[in-house]
Amino acid sequence: DKEPVTVLVTGAAGQIGYALVPMIARGLMLGSNQPVILHMLDIEPAAESLKGVKMELIDAAFPLLRGVVATTDVVEACKDVNIAVMLGGFPRKEGMERKDVMSKNVSIYKAQASALEEHAAADCKVLVVANPANTNALILKEFAPSIPEKNITCLTRLDHNRALGQISEKLNVHVSDVKNVIIWGNHSSTQYPDVNHAVVTTSNGHKPVRELVADDNWLNTEFITTVQERGGAIIKARKLSSALSAASAACDHIRDWVLGTPKGTWVSMGVYSDGCYGIQSGLIYSFPVTCDKGEWNIVQGLKIDEFSREKMDKTAQELIQEKKLAMSCL
Ligand code: NAX
């Protein structure tokens, strides 16, 4: 029997948490032969509800689930954690200034960074989902200097999967036959969903998406805005923000990171920029990456045209502004 892996989910009493924890307990994140121990953290007002989630996890009798901790104590939650999925944060409420929201999240991520730094496993991998995801991840990195910077990432896989979904619907092909779209930049409406290198697997090999869609106007306008604004469209329809798709994307992100991306396939992850593709180093920016042996690497050498360049820089600019705002809250 394999040793169990300990997975922390913060904000576990929330919407995404409720969809995510059963996925993890079923092996969708780390594999169907990998036992897991779940640590669930939330804040005092959600403590009862968190207890209820723990009761349901016990009632579901998941064979892979070897233990559940439900707590409001950040130290207990972070103890010996191998994987941390950060869903907890302070949401923007109507009428609130950006700076106030940022300031709340900066203090949350500062505190949780310190707890992870002190109590998590030395090789702990972190995925930040809570918004502003890229900047929360950056704060976490700043305040957990002993965690390698390659171990701190944010979620843009939902945007990546949304882009795959749009192409699949447009071409009426299986979504699993579409690959290598890219989400560049911030997990916000300035993100740039790029199909210039995307392909579809057909009976005659790989065909570029640009060739198959043959409607550059759609690809350069409606496709991009649909992906950028999909979160808002879900809220409008469901009166709640994306949850099952976000949980599923978080599993995809960790699974590919830990177990590797398939040969010839890349995915999008928000990772620490080293300056490649002309993106200022020191930002957490979404890039195309491949993963192998538990490590991601940015796909190098892709040709960037003028249209893309402008959009990649615009979303980088927004992240620079967010970083400034976050730093001013410290
Ligand atoms: P919910 O409001 O349902 O859940 C958030 C939970 O976090 C609540 O239970 C709350 O009590 C808890 N929480 C608040 N402060 C905490 C703290 N200091 N420590 C631990 N827990 C704390 O939100 P939900 O719909 O689950 O979304 C979670 C986060 O994901 C939000 O920030 C949301 O904006 C973000 N999203 C990010 C996405 C991405 O692709 N990166 C997509 C989906 C989602 O919108």
Instruction: Count other C-beta atoms under 10 Å from residue 87's C-beta.
Output: 26
DSSP-H helix ranges across 65-156: 74-78, 98-119, 133-142
What is the complex's ipTM, to 2 decimals? Answer: 0.99
Q: Is 98 annotated as a binding residue?
A: yes
Q: Is 282 annotated as a binding residue?
A: no
Which residue, by CA, sits nearest to atom 36 of ligand 1? 130
Q: Residue 156's closest CA among 124, 174, 179, 182? A: 182
- Both tokens of 278, joined, read 């002309």
Q: Is 42 in the pocket of ligand 1 (CB under 6 A)?
A: yes
- Residues paired with residue 194 on neighbouring β-strands, in sequence order: 182
CB within 8 Å of 164: residues ≥ 6 apart: 175, 178, 179, 181
Atom of ligand 1 nearest to the CA of 155: 41
CA distance 240 to 205: 40
Counting ligand 1 atoms within 8 A of each CB, the residue from 131, 248, 269 with the most, and so the one to mutate, is 131
Distance 273 CA to ligand 1 centre (A): 25
Distance 37 CA to ligand 1 centre (A): 21
- What is the CA 272 to chain-centroid distance, rounded? 13
- Both tokens of 294, joined, read 């538990």
Q: Is 87 in the pocket of ligand 1 (CB under 6 A)?
A: yes
- Average pLDDT for consecutive 10-residue bins of the chain (330 residues)? 97 98 98 98 98 98 98 98 98 86 96 98 98 97 97 98 98 98 97 98 96 97 98 96 98 98 98 98 98 98 98 98 95
Examine the residue annotation and report whether 187 is marked as an active-site residue of this protein: yes
Beta strand ranges found along the chain (DSSP E): 5-10, 36-41, 65-71, 83-86, 125-128, 152-154, 178-179, 182-184, 192-194, 199-202, 205-208, 267-272, 284-292, 295-298
Output the CA–CA distances (angstroms, integers) from residue 72 to 131, 269, 289, in the order listed.
20, 29, 34
pTM: 0.98
Distance 40 CA to ligand 1 centre (A): 13
Q: Is 131 annotated as a binding residue?
A: yes
DSSP-H helix ranges across 143-290: 157-171, 209-213, 216-220, 222-228, 230-238, 244-259
pLDDT score for 97: 87
pLDDT score for 243: 98
pLDDT score for 98: 85
Which backbone phi and psi does 69 adopt, to 5 degrees?
-115, 125
Location of structure tokens 């200034």: 97
